[in-house]
């Protein structure tokens, strides 16, 4: 229920619960603005779609007529009607609130059934209209428990046509598998040929880009070792997932804990960005740089293996005083005469990203300056900028500093 509403209702097949500041009991029919209209997303695609609609309408009308004969307060009916070999039966259910008379119940159901062709997609396999006074539903499967209260004979012509369709179905059952087998064999041959060709191209492309990366040869780790280390990339070993793929925790045979970055096959991180990350981290070794343990480029996998870090994001590194810098795959070069660009892939820690980058994907040579500035503000003030993104705090650190700057109380922000 939406906050501020003065009415709500919960509909089930066998009951409903509702309240409102309006007297909805004053009407004996459903109000259109207080109805739930649902339909089966699958459609009848055969030539018998029109006949299906007519048969479903016959079932609903039969249940409405049956309800008019009930004198008890249990105004509820289930029904079925035969159709054809594909859909042997159509099942229906209808109900009214117990305070309605049999005639009023019939009127509510008739009005609801009459509007169904207007509000639903034609030829749907099932539909339901639930209102505060009556509910009606039909499906091609039995969706309710208990006995069937009303069994209609259905259309004799439809059953004869169904038998004809059944004979046609038997013929198709013999011929279709043969045709499918032939088509499947041809498709498999084509798939294998294209897969071999594609793999060759990928291998050639990868080799050509790695020719100038001799520095990583000593870091190569075979795929079976990484599969064993991560328990075959088990879900419970997953540390998280980013825009380029998932990261798994693992343990090498020597006991070293590692984090394996498994680039998705659909990842937008290309060979160029992978080359950036490998080249930079492999050549740079420092206590404050995350250490690249290894890399695997076997089969179709692209795996980067790092030392396992228990920390999480930039603010954690800063305030825990255990900094590690990583993710050099995000490096991107500007043209000599280029000062800004736009990306569809926004990656980073919120609170440290420039607003135009975080909101619109626009980055420039000033983006890193903004991030560095936030870092300096955190050091000077002793406050976490990320708190404003992870709590109910409404003002972020840069805005708070600017507010004190404009009121000439900036000294109050300095960490004593």
Best CA proximity match to 73, nearest among 48, 93, 45, 100: 100
Strand partners, 128: 38, 137
Query: Binding site annotation covers 261?
Result: yes
CB-based contact 361:344 (threshold 8 Å):
yes
Lay out the sheet containing 36-39: strands in order across: 36-39, 127-130, 134-139, 89-96, 76-82, 150-151
d(CA 315, CA 351): 9
The DSSP bridge partners found for residue 248 are: 238, 260
274 touches 206 (CB < 8 A):
no
* Helices and strands, counts by H and E, the chain: 10, 15
DSSP secondary structure string for all residues of 135-187: EEEEESS--S-S--SEE----HHHHHHHHHHHHHHHHHHHHHHHHHHHHHHHH
The string of DSSP letters for 323-389 reads: --B--GGG--PPPTT--EEE-S---S-TTTS-HHHHHH-EEETTHHHHHHHHHHHHHHH---TTHHH
128: phi then psi, degrees, rounded to nearest 5: -150, 135
How many other C-beta atoms can be found within 10 angstroms of the C-beta atom of residue 386? 22
**129, 112 in Cβ contact below 8 A?**
yes
Distance CA 161, CA 84 (A): 7
Is residue 258 a contact partner of residue 242, using CB atoms and an 8 Å limit? no
Q: Which residues are annotated as a binding site?
A: 261
Q: Which residues are annotated as a binding site for ATP?
A: 261
């Amino acid at each position: 229920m939406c906050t501020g509403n003065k009415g709500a209702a919960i509909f089930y097949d066998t009951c409903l619960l509702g309240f409102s500041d309006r007297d909805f009991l004053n009407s004996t029919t459903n109000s259109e603005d207080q109805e739930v209209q649902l339909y089966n997303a699958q459609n009848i695609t055969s030539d018998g779609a029109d006949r299906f609609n007519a048969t479903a309408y016959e079932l609903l009308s039969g249940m409405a007529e049956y309800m008019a004969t009930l004198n008890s307060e249990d105004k509820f009916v289930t029904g079925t009607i035969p159709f054809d070999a594909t859909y042997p039966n159509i099942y229906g259910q209808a109900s009214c609130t117990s305070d309605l008379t049999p005639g009023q119940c019939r009127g509510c159901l008739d009005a609801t059934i009459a509007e169904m062709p207007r509000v639903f997609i034609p030829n749907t396999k099932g539909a339901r209209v639930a209102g505060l006074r009556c509910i009606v539903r039909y499906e091609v499967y039995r969706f309710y428990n208990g006995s069937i209260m009303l069994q209609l004979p259905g259309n004799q012509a439809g059953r004869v046509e169904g038998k004809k369709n059944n004979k046609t179905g038997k013929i198709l059952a013999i011929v279709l598998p043969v045709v499918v087998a032939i088509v499947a064999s041809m498709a498999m041959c084509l798939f294998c040929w294209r897969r071999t060709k594609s793999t060759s191209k990928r291998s050639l492309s990868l080799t050509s880009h790695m020719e100038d990366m001799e520095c990583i040869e000593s870091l190569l780790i075979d795929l079976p070792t990484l599969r064993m280390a991560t328990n075959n990339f088990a879900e419970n070993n997953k540390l998280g997932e980013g825009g380029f793929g998932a990261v798994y925790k693992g343990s090498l045979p020597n006991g070293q804990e590692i984090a394996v970055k498994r680039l998705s096959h659909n990842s937008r991180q290309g060979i160029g960005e992978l080359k950036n990350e490998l080249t930079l981290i492999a050549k740079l070794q420092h206590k404050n740089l995350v250490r690249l343990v290894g890399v695997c480029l076997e089969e179709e996998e692209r795996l980067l293996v790092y030392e396992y870090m228990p920390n999480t994001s930039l603010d954690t590194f800063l305030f825990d005083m255990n900094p590690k810098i990583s993710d050099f795959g995000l490096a991107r070069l500007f043209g000599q005469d280029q000062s800004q660009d736009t990306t569809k892939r926004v990656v980073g820690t919120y609170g440290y990203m420039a607003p135009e980058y975080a909101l619109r994907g626009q980055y420039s040579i000033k983006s890193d300056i903004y991030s560095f500035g936030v870092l300096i503000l955190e050091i000077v003030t002793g406050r976490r900028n990320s708190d404003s993104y992870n709590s109910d705090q409404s003002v972020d650190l840069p805005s708070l500093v600017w507010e004190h700057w404009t009121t000439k109380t900036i000294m109050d922000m300095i960490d004593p």
